[in-house]
Amino acid sequence: MSKTALVISGGGSKGAFAVGVLKAIYQHNPGLNFDLLIGTSTGALIAPLATSGSIPLLEQLYTTVKTDNVIETNNVGNRFLTADSIFGVGPLGKLIQQYYTDTFFQSLQAQPCNVLLATTCLQTATAVYFSTRKAAAVKGYEVVPLGKADHFRRAVMASACQPVFMPPIEVIPGAVPLRQYVDGGVREYAGIQLAIEQGADEIFVILLSSGLNKPVEKRYTQVPDILLRTIEIFTEDVGDNDLEMPQMYNKALDYLNSVRQNMKQSGMSDQQIGQLLSVPGNPLSNKRPVNLHVIRPDGDLGGGTGGLNFDPAEMKGMVAKGITVMNNYIAGLPPGSSILV
Do 198 and 34 meet the contact criterion of CB atoms below 8 Å apart? no
* Catalytic residue selected from 41, 85, 131, 159: 41
Secondary structure E strands in the chain: 3-8, 36-40, 114-121, 127-131, 142-145, 181-183, 200-206, 291-295
Do 186 and 3 meet the contact criterion of CB atoms below 8 Å apart? no
Active site residue 183: yes
- The two beta strands, 114-121 and 127-131, are antiparallel
* Catalytic residue selected from 35, 183, 209, 242: 183
Strand, coil or helix: 114: strand
CA 268 to chain centre: 44
Q: Is the dihedral of CA 208, 211, 217, 219 positive or negative?
A: positive
Do 260 and 270 meet the contact criterion of CB atoms below 8 Å apart? no
Helix intervals (H) in 70-171: 76-82, 90-99, 102-110, 149-160
Which residues are designated catalytic?
41, 183
